[in-house]
Amino acid sequence: MPPREKEVICFQFAALCLVLDVGVTCRTSDFLVTSIRCASELLQRRLFSESTDRFGLVLIGDERTNNVLNYGHVNVLDGGLRVANWDLLDYVENHVQGTNHESDWLDGVIVALDLLKTETEGQSKCQEKKIILLSDLGCVSNSDNWDSVLLALKKEKVELSFFGPTWADDDDPSQLGVNGTSPEPEAGPSAAAHDPPKTKTPQQKANEAVLSNLVNESEGVQCSIEDAMATFINHERRKKKPFPWKVAMEIGPNISINTVGYIQTRREPPKSWKKCLARPPANGDVDELKAATTFVKNNDAQEVVEGSNLIESYKYGPELITVAEEDKASFSYDGGPKSLCVLGFVPQSDIQRQWLLGDGSMVFQPVEDDEPSMAALSALAFAMHDMRMAAIVRKVYRAKSTPRMGMLVPEYRPNDEGVDELTIVFIELPYSEDLRQYEFAPVFNDSIRPSNSQLEAMDDFIDNMMLIEDGEELVKTETIMNPCNQYLYRCLTHRVTQPGKILPDVPARIKEFMKPPPELAQKVDTLVKRLRELFPCEEIDRKKEKITGDEMFVDKSKGDVTNASEEAPTTNDLSISHGSVLVEVGTTTPVEDFQKLLDSGSDLHLLESTQKTDLLIDVQEKSLGMIGRDEHHASKFSADEALAFLAVPVDATKESTSKAATVEDDEDEDMLDDL
pLDDT tens for 418-472 read 778 889 999 999 999 998 888 887 777 777 788 899 999 999 999 888 888 777 8
Radius of gyration of the chain (CA): 41
In this predicted structure, what is the pLDDT of residue 273? 65
* CA dist., res. 247 & res. 365, Å (int): 11
Report for 46-50, 139-143, 157-161: range of highest mean pLDDT: 157-161
Average pLDDT for 576-590: 60
Q: Has residue 112 got a pLDDT over 80? A: yes
Band (312; pLDDT cuts 50, 70, 90) = confident
Average pLDDT for 477-481: 79
Average pLDDT for 316-344: 83
Report for 100-109, 221-230, 478-487: range of highest mean pLDDT: 100-109
Band (546; pLDDT cuts 50, 70, 90) = low
Rounded to whole angstroms, what are the CA distances from 414 to 137, 440, 469? 43, 41, 22
Rounded to whole angstroms, what are the CA distances from 146 to 22, 104, 385? 22, 12, 61
Rounded to whole angstroms, what are the CA distances from 244 to 340, 363, 377, 406, 577? 14, 10, 17, 19, 63
Question: What residues pair up with 390 in beta bridges, in sequence order?
Answer: 346
Instruction: Output the CA angle 169-173-177, nearest 5 degrees.
Output: 90
Average pLDDT for 42-62: 90
DSSP track, 423-476: EEEEEE---GGG--------S--SSS---HHHHHHHHHHHHHT-SEETTEESS-
Q: Who wins on pLDDT, 540 or 123?
A: 123
In this predicted structure, what is the pLDDT of residue 513? 81
In this predicted structure, what is the pLDDT of residue 189? 36
Q: Who wins on pLDDT, 556 or 262?
A: 262
- Report, at the CATH architecture level, how domain 13-232 is classified: 3-Layer(aba) Sandwich (3.40)
User: How far, rounded to the nearest angstrom, does the alpha carbon of residue 495 sit from its chain's CA centroid?
Assistant: 23
User: How far, rounded to the nearest angstrom, does the alpha carbon of residue 209 sit from its chain's CA centroid?
Assistant: 48
Instruction: Give the number of other CB atoms < 10 A from CB of residue 675.
Output: 13
Instruction: Give the number of other CB atoms < 10 A from CB of residue 569.
Output: 17
Q: Has residue 245 got a pLDDT over 80? A: yes
* CA dist., res. 227 & res. 163, Å (int): 9
Average pLDDT for 307-330: 81
Q: Has residue 656 got a pLDDT over 80? A: no
User: How far, rounded to the nearest angstrom, does the alpha carbon of residue 168 sit from its chain's CA centroid?
Assistant: 42
In this predicted structure, what is the pLDDT of residue 659? 41
Q: Are 60 and 107 in contact (CB under 8 A)?
A: yes
Q: Are 154 and 125 in contact (CB under 8 A)?
A: no
In this predicted structure, what is the pLDDT of residue 5? 39
Helix (H, G, I), strand (E, B) or coil at 296: strand
Q: In terms of residues, how long is the chain?
A: 675
Q: Which helix or strand (DSSP H or E) is residue 261 part of?
A: strand 255-266
Band (16; pLDDT cuts 50, 70, 90) = very high
* CA dist., res. 16 & res. 604, Å (int): 99
Q: Has residue 390 got a pLDDT over 80? A: yes
Q: Has residue 417 got a pLDDT over 80? A: no
Strands (E), 317-465: 319-323, 339-347, 357-366, 389-396, 404-414, 420-428
Q: Who wins on pLDDT, 619 or 526?
A: 526
Q: What mean pLDDT, rounded, does the chain reach?
A: 77
Q: Has residue 615 got a pLDDT over 80? A: no
Among 274, 273, 289, 241, smallest CA distance to 47 is for 273
Q: Are 194 and 226 in contact (CB under 8 A)?
A: yes
User: How far, rounded to the nearest angstrom, does the alpha carbon of residue 27 sit from its chain's CA centroid?
Assistant: 42
Every domain of the chain and the residues it spans? 13-232, 339-434, 583-674
Q: What are phi and psi for residue 660, nearest 5 degrees?
A: -85, 0
Q: Which helix or strand (DSSP H or E) is residue 13 part of?
A: strand 13-21
Least confident of 64-68, 163-167, 643-647: 643-647
Residue type, 637: F
User: How far, rounded to the nearest angstrom, does the alpha carbon of residue 649 sit from its chain's CA centroid?
Assistant: 74
Instruction: Output the CA angle 258-264-270, nearest 5 degrees.
Output: 135
Q: Residue 423 class from Cβ within 10 Å (0-12 exposed, 13-18 middle, 19+ buried)?
A: buried
Average pLDDT for 69-96: 91
In this structure, the strands spanning 222-224 and 158-164 are: parallel
Q: What are phi and psi for residue 434, nearest 5 degrees?
A: -85, -15
**What is the CATH topology of the domain spanning 339-434?**
Ku70; Chain: A; Domain 2 (2.40.290)
In this predicted structure, what is the pLDDT of residue 569? 44
Q: Are 637 and 590 in contact (CB under 8 A)?
A: yes
Q: Who wins on pLDDT, 217 or 539?
A: 217
Q: Has residue 368 got a pLDDT over 70? A: yes
DSSP character at residue 650: P
Which bin fits 199, alpha (ψ -120 to 50), beta or left (φ > 0)?
beta
In this predicted structure, what is the pLDDT of residue 568? 43
Residue type, 70: N
DSSP character at residue 198: B
Instruction: Give the number of other CB atoms < 10 A from CB of residue 445.
Output: 8
What pTM did the predictor assign? 0.62
In this predicted structure, what is the pLDDT of residue 271? 73
Q: Which helix or strand (DSSP H or E) is residue 249 part of?
A: strand 245-251
Least confident of 77-86, 223-232, 448-457: 223-232
* CA dist., res. 251 & res. 344, Å (int): 8
Q: Are 259 and 340 in contact (CB under 8 A)?
A: yes
Rounded to whole angstroms, what are the CA distances from 346 to 48, 387, 427, 433, 606? 44, 10, 14, 21, 55
Among 649, 647, 642, smallest CA distance to 590 is for 642
DSSP character at residue 413: E
Average pLDDT for 600-622: 60
In this predicted structure, what is the pLDDT of residue 428? 94
Question: pLDDT tens digits for 246-289?
Answer: 999 999 888 999 999 999 888 877 777 666 655 655 655 655 66
In this predicted structure, what is the pLDDT of residue 646? 54
Question: pLDDT tens digits for 177-189?
Answer: 433 334 443 333 3
Q: Are 102 and 139 in contact (CB under 8 A)?
A: yes
Q: Has residue 665 got a pLDDT over 80? A: no
